[in-house]
Amino acid sequence: MSEKKQDAFENARSQIKKAYDIMNTDNFQEWFLELISVPKRIIELQIPLQMDDGSFKIFPAFRAQHNDARGPFKGGIRFHPDVSRNEVKALSTWMTMKCAVIDIPLGGGKWGIIVNPKELSIRELERLSRAYVQALYKYLWPKTDVPAPDVNTTPQIMAWMMDEYSKLVWEYTPGSFTGKPLSSGGSAGRGQATAQWGVYVLDKILELRNDSIKGKTLCLQGAGNAGLTMAKLMVEKWIKVIWISDSGGGIYNKEWLDIEEISKLKQNKKSVTDYTWDAEKLDAKEVLYKECDVLIPAALENQITGDNASKVQAKLIMELANGPITPEADEILAQKGIDIIPDILANAGWVMVSYFEWVQNDQNFYWTAEDIQEKLKNRILQSAENVFDRAQENKTTYRVWAFIVALERIHAAMKDRGEL
Ligand code: GLU
C-alpha cells in the first residue's frame, strides 16, 4: 500500500475529483476543481505550555480554513497524538462538503493539536485550550470561523475557549464556538440529536431501498459517545447490536449485546472487553470483517483500505467517523455490491446541531430539545432523499452523489460571489 493512498488529504481530493469527472461541469469555471481541492488558508503554530511540574512543552497545532463561500469556516478541533497537517486539511475539506450537502450556510474548517489529552492534568488541558485561542483569536469570529468539538474535545473545552475568546475581544461571544455546555450557550438536545441524525439517515435510506431497519444486525467500530448513543437509539428501533469494539478490543454475541452495560463501562473509562455478559472477545479490527447487515465505523480515518476491504462482509456501511474508507477501498466495496452511506451525509447531525446552536447564540433566543428534534428530522429527510434519488437515477454511489450535490452548491456560491 503506497503511503499516498493512506493520506487522508489525498483521499479527500480524489473523492472530489471522482465526483467532478462524472458531473455535468459545462457551466463550471475550469479552475474551480483546483481551488476546491486545497484549503484557502492554513495556519501552523507552536504552542508553548508550562506544565504543572514547572517544565515546558511545545505543542504543534494547525488550523485549516478550507472554504467560506457559503458561510463562515466551520469545523471541529481535534486533540490527538496522530494529528497532522494533511489530516487537518482533509477534515476541513470534508466539512465544506458536509455543510453544503445538508444545505446549511456554513463553509468548512478544522483545527488540530498534536497532543494526547489523557496525559495532561485538567489544569494543563485548560491552559492549552486557552493558549490556542490566544494564538488564533484574530482569525476567529462568529461570522468568520466557528470551531466545535471533535475527537477528544469536550463541551468543557469549548466553554473555556469561548470564555477566553470573549475576554480577548471584550464581549460575551457565545457564537464563537459551538458544542458548548448548556450553561454557556449550548443547545438543548445536542447529545441525542447528533446520534439521532444517524438513525434517521439509516432509517430513511433503508426505507427508500424498500427495506426496513427492524431486525437488522449491527457491528460498531468505536465506542465513543456518538457511536454508543446511536447504538442505544438503534436498539429502540429493534436493531440488534452484535459487535462492538474500542481501542482495547472487540466483543461479539450473535444474539445481542447489552448497550447499557457497555455505556457504563465507557463512562468508567473501561474497555468494552470488560463486559461481563456472555460474549466472545476478539481483536478490535475484526469487527470490520464480521457478517452483519450494517457496519458503522465510528473511530478514525483509513480503517477500511485497499488492503482489507475484500474481507468486509457487511451488507451496508454507514460512516459515522470522518474518512474511515479510502477511495481504493470504495472501489473494492462497490464491486462487492456493498453500498456506503458516506460520512458527509451520515455524521452531519453533529454540525447541523452546531448550526442550530450558532443561530440561537446569534438571536439570543433558545429552542427546546423538541424544537431541535423536529428541525433535525426535516433537514435529514430532505438531504437523504436528495442524495438517494440522484444516485438511483444515475446509477452511481451515494458518496459520488453526495459530493456532486455539495460541489454544485459550492460552485454556485463562489460564482455568484465573484470568486470564480
Ligand atoms: N467535529 C464534527 C464533525 O466532524 C462537528 C463539527 C462542527 O460542529 O462544527 O462534523
Residues 163 and 64 in one domain: yes
What was the pLDDT predicted at 311?
Answer: 97
In a domain, 379, yes or no: no
Written as nine digits, the cell of 91 is 477534515
Range of the domain at 284: 193-346
* CATH number of the domain to which 280 belongs: 3.40.50.720
Question: Can you tell me which atom of ligand 1 is nearest the CA of 179?
Answer: 8
Whole-angstrom CA distances from 177 to 76, 99, 367, 418 are: 9, 16, 18, 29
Residues 225 and 110 in one domain: no
What was the pLDDT predicted at 4?
Answer: 45
Q: Which of 234, 237, 194 lies closest to 369 in space, CA to CA?
A: 194
In a domain, 167, yes or no: yes
Question: Can you tell me which atom of ligand 1 is nearest the CA of 146?
Answer: 9
* Domain-terminating residue out of 184, 216, 236: 184
Residues 18, 74, 110, 180: which is the catalytic one?
Answer: 110
* Domain-terminating residue out of 346, 362, 382: 346
Residues 285 and 314 in one domain: yes
* Domain-terminating residue out of 283, 314, 346: 346
Q: Is 150 exposed, middle or buried (0-12, 13-18, 19+ CB in 10 A)?
A: buried
Residues 155 and 204 in one domain: no
What was the pLDDT predicted at 1?
Answer: 41
* CATH number of the domain to which 141 belongs: 3.40.50.10860
In a domain, 402, yes or no: no
Which of 77, 83, 95, 194 maximizes ligand 1 atoms within 8 Å of its Cβ, making it the mutation to test the pocket? 95
Residues 132 and 221 in one domain: no
What was the pLDDT predicted at 3?
Answer: 42
Split into its structural domains, the chain has a count of: 2
Residues 38 and 119 in one domain: yes
Residues 167 and 213 in one domain: no
Residues 197 and 176 in one domain: no
In a domain, 411, yes or no: no
Residues 285 and 316 in one domain: yes
Query: How do the pLDDT tens digits run along the chain, 420 residues long?
Result: 444 447 999 999 999 999 999 999 999 988 999 999 999 999 999 999 999 999 999 999 999 999 999 999 999 999 999 999 999 999 999 999 999 999 999 999 999 999 999 999 999 999 999 999 999 999 999 999 999 999 999 999 999 999 999 999 999 999 999 999 999 999 999 888 878 899 999 999 999 899 998 889 999 998 887 888 888 998 888 888 988 999 889 999 988 899 999 999 999 989 999 999 889 998 888 889 999 999 999 988 899 999 999 999 999 999 999 999 999 999 999 999 999 999 999 999 999 999 999 999 999 999 999 999 999 988 888 898 888 888 888 788 999 999 999 999 999 999 999 998
Would residue 415 show up in a list of annotated catalytic residues for this protein?
no
Which of 110, 150, 178, 180 maximizes ligand 1 atoms within 8 Å of its Cβ, making it the mutation to test the pocket? 150
Residues 180 and 200 in one domain: no
Alpha carbons 347 and 195: distance in angstroms, whole number: 8
Residues 342 and 231 in one domain: yes
Residues 207 and 144 in one domain: no
Report pTM: 0.94
Could you tell me if the CB of 301 is within 6 A of ligand 1? no
Question: Can you tell me which atom of ligand 1 is nearest the CA of 91?
Answer: 4
In a domain, 365, yes or no: no
What was the pLDDT predicted at 237?
Answer: 84
Alpha carbons 418 and 408: distance in angstroms, whole number: 15
In a domain, 374, yes or no: no
Please name the residues in contact with 25: beta carbons below 8 A apart, sequence gap of 6 or more. Answer: 32
